[in-house]
Each structure stands twice: as structure tokens, then as C-alpha cells.
Amino acid sequence: MVKFIHTGDLHLGLQFKNVSFNRSIAEKRRIELWDTFERIVNRAIEREVDFLFIAGDLYEEEYFTLGDIKRVRDTLRKAKDINIIITAGNHDTLNINSLYRMIDWPENIKIFDSAGLKKVEYMDSDIHVYGYSWDKGENKENIFNNFGGIDKDKTNILIIHGDILNKESPYLPLDKMYLQDMGFNYIGLGHIHKPIIISNRMAYCGSPEPLDFGEIGEHGIIEGIIEKGNTNIEFIPFSNRSFLEKTIDIDETLGYIDIINRIKQCDKYDNLKQNLYRIKLEGLVHRDIELNIGDIIKSLDDDFYYLDIIDNTIVDYDLNSLEEENQGNIIGHFIKEMKKKNLEDKVVRDALYIGLEALMKGKVEL
Ligand SMILES: [Mn+2]
């Protein structure tokens, strides 16, 4: 029996320079990446796994220091009874200048080199672990060119950073069918930050801490067991925080307080204090209500850890008086024509209000 944890794409040291949230959150996020890395190592120790696989992008080489790589080593050092496998990706490339090469590593940590696909044998050579590290930021090598296949009497595992979703990818395109046919008991992939279980024998673990609103939803690690040739894996949610997107539908019957309450009720209250929310307001707002998004965000500061609002609402115009005021011009004609259609139909109503919004804005600019 082989027990493992599969992680990757931690991006330790990331500066969060081009993210959609603010600096103070970014500073905390940097620390949280380190905390989560340590939590993963502690989990591996508690669960008494045989292997901890790290499938690339462990750190951001652009910002990482010698002190940082020593911190990585010293964190991993605690897991002295676990075989730790590292394969570098496009953000932590393994070449002559790499921080990986600047320090000595304990015996139980294996960092695969970049000279091609290699094999390491464990547990009286019953377990064959294959891996490969990148040596540059883009990579279209065919690393399986000279691969002779696996020994099917053994348990075979492949850990690699690459792209199985896009054959033209500059990030080590991998042929999913080819990999599946090869007969590995488990293929632990890195690179795609969304966790994807492709089968019980192949998965992207995803980034354990999501890095921005592009990585919404649950993030975590993969735990697995290989026993008598069968592999069982499970995705374990493990991130400290999630990035979440919620859509809130507004209509013209709602007052200001109603709208604020709907925003506050977008999720469980204790989650609001933990996660990062991007809320999209959709629909019609009564013409007397002025939604100042900046003010709303400020007023909800105590309710949310982080709140961003995208206002896609349109104003609910008073059609009769608007038509009267605009007799003879394009706005008047537009309302008159639209009123002949079925205004109960949502599509017609949306067309009317979106059209009006555009025409009214045009009027202001004139
Ligand atoms: Mn990555």
C-alpha cells in the first residue's frame, strides 16, 4: 500500500503585483501561502503518508531568495520519514542558476533534474517514481521520445508539470491518451491552477491557495492510496480562503436597504469574514435610488474580509413621463415602438432598458 499527498502550484514568494485586490490583502496573502505550505507538510506527517509530491511551481523564482529556499527546506525537513518528490515547473525552473542548486537537501527529498524523464525506485524497488523538471520558462520538449515504458509488475507514478488540455501549449503539452495508455498507477500533474480529477489515476491538484479572482471556488490538495494495483484519490479542500463570485438580481421594487441586505446575505455570515467576494449586481434599480458602489463597499467593511462589487444594473425609467418629455426625438420614438411589444417578456424589457440606457447616456454627452 502506498499513501500520498499531491500538491503543486504553491507559488511561494508571489508578490501579487497585478491582482484585482488591494495591497494590504496582498501582503496578508503572501504570508498565507507560506502558512498553507506548512499546513500541507504537517498534514503529510499526521496522515503518515509515504510520499509528498510537489508537481512544480513551488515558488516564484523572480522574487525568491536564498533565505526563502532555506525556509522551504527547513519546513520540509520536519517530514523526515516521508519521501518528498519535487519536479520543477515554469516558475521555479531547475537550471545552473536555480536556488534549488544553491543548498544541500536532506536524503528524503528528491528533486528531479531537467535532463529528461528519470526514474527513482523506492521501497525495495516496488515503487517506481518518474519525474522531470523544467529548465526554462517555456517548454515544448517531447520528453517521452526515448521512453521505453514502465515495468507493469511495479507500482508506477509520474509527477510532472505540463498542459494536457492544449496540444499547442508552450507549457509542455502532454498527450492525455498517450499518458493514460502508458499504465501508470498515478499521474500527478501541475500547472493548471483549478483542481481537475481526470480519472482516479490522473489529476491536477490545482493551487492549494487560489491566487486571484481567476481562481474561484474550492482549492486544496489530493490525497491518494494505491493498493493492489488500484488507485483511489480524493480532493481535499485545504485553502485558508476562497475567491468567490456571486450574482445578485435586483429589481425596481427594492429599496436601498433591501439591496444592501441582499449583498450581506450572499453567503453565510462567517464565510463573509473569511473569503474574498466579487459580487455582480444585475437587473433594474428604481430610478430614485443612487447606487454609489464605493460608498457601499466602504459601509460593508465590517461585514466582509474583502468585497468587490461590479454594478451591471440599469435604471428603471418612468416610461410614460420619459416618452412625453421626448416627443418627436429618437428616445420618444424608441419608447413608443417598444411599448407595442410585449413588455412582460424579459427579453423585450431588457432590450428596452438597455436601449434607453444607451440613448440617455448619448443625450447627456451631447
Ligand atoms: Mn502555476
Mind listing the pLDDT tens digit for each residue in 261-276?
A: 999 999 998 899 999 9
For the chain, percent of residues with pLDDT exceeding 90 = 83
How much distance in Å is there from the Cα of 336 to the middle of ligand 1?
A: 55
How much distance in Å is there from the Cα of 176 to the middle of ligand 1?
A: 19
Q: How confident is the model at residue 49 (pLDDT cuts 50, 70, 90)?
A: very high
Q: Element (H or E) spanning 83, and its range?
A: strand 83-86
The order of strands in the sheet holding 83-86 is 109-111, 83-86, 51-54, 2-7, 220-227, 230-237
Please name the residue that has the C-alpha cell 474580509: 305
pLDDT at res. 366:
46
Q: Is the pLDDT of residue 189 over 80?
A: yes
pLDDT at res. 72:
98
Helix (H, G, I), strand (E, B) or coil at 68: helix
How much distance in Å is there from the Cα of 213 to the middle of ligand 1?
A: 15
How much distance in Å is there from the Cα of 338 to the middle of ligand 1?
A: 50
Per-residue pLDDT tens for 25-48?
Answer: 999 999 999 999 999 999 999 999
Upper half-sphere CA count for residue 208 (Cβ side, 13 Å): 30
Q: How confident is the model at residue 152 (pLDDT cuts 50, 70, 90)?
A: very high
Mean per-residue pLDDT for 76-93?
A: 97
Q: How confident is the model at residue 358 (pLDDT cuts 50, 70, 90)?
A: confident
Amino acid at 326: N
The gap between the terminal CA atoms of the chain, to the nearest Å, is 75
How much distance in Å is there from the Cα of 60 to the middle of ligand 1?
A: 9
How much distance in Å is there from the Cα of 340 to the middle of ligand 1?
A: 55
Give yes or no for a contact between 7 and 223, defined as CB atoms under 8 angstroms apart.
no
How much distance in Å is there from the Cα of 11 to the middle of ligand 1?
A: 7
- DSSP label at 139? B
Mean pLDDT, rounded, of the chain = 94
Give yes or no for a contact between 156 and 184, defined as CB atoms under 8 angstroms apart.
yes
Distance set, CA 248 to CA 136, 173, 189, 257, 261 (Å): 44, 39, 36, 14, 11
pLDDT at res. 25:
93
How much distance in Å is there from the Cα of 314 to the middle of ligand 1?
A: 38
- Cα separation, 362 vs 314, whole angstroms: 15
Q: Is the pLDDT of residue 59 over 90?
A: yes
Give yes or no for a contact between 60 and 14, defined as CB atoms under 8 angstroms apart.
yes
Q: How confident is the model at residue 363 (pLDDT cuts 50, 70, 90)?
A: low
The candidate with the shortest Cα–Cα distance to 349, out of 259, 284, 291, 260, is 284
Per-residue pLDDT tens for 222-255?
Answer: 999 999 999 999 999 999 999 999 999 999 999 9
Q: How many CB atoms lie within 10 A of CB 6?
A: 27
How much distance in Å is there from the Cα of 184 to the middle of ligand 1?
A: 23
**Predicted model pTM:** 0.89
- Cα separation, 187 vs 224, whole angstroms: 11
How much distance in Å is there from the Cα of 89 to the middle of ligand 1?
A: 7
- DSSP label at 215? G
Neighbours of ion ligand 1 (CB under 5 A): 9, 57
List all residues 6 or more positions away from 98 whose beta carbon is below 8 Å from its beta carbon: 61, 88, 92
pLDDT at res. 364:
53
How much distance in Å is there from the Cα of 220 to the middle of ligand 1?
A: 14
How much distance in Å is there from the Cα of 57 to the middle of ligand 1?
A: 5
Give yes or no for a contact between 87 and 133, defined as CB atoms under 8 angstroms apart.
yes
How much distance in Å is there from the Cα of 317 to the middle of ligand 1?
A: 47
Angle between helix 23-46 and helix 66-77 axes, rounded to 10 deg = 30
How much distance in Å is there from the Cα of 218 to the middle of ligand 1?
A: 16
Distance set, CA 219 to CA 13, 34, 51 (Å): 19, 15, 20
The candidate with the shortest Cα–Cα distance to 91, out of 161, 163, 168, is 161
Bridge partners of 243? Answer: 276
List all residues 6 or more positions away from 78 whose beta carbon is below 8 Å from its beta carbon: 41, 42, 45
Triad 180, 238, 135: Cα angle to 5°:
55
List all residues 6 or more positions away from 12 whose beta carbon is below 8 Å from its beta carbon: 33, 34, 37, 58, 59, 60, 64, 68, 72
Q: What cell was used for 187?
A: 499521474
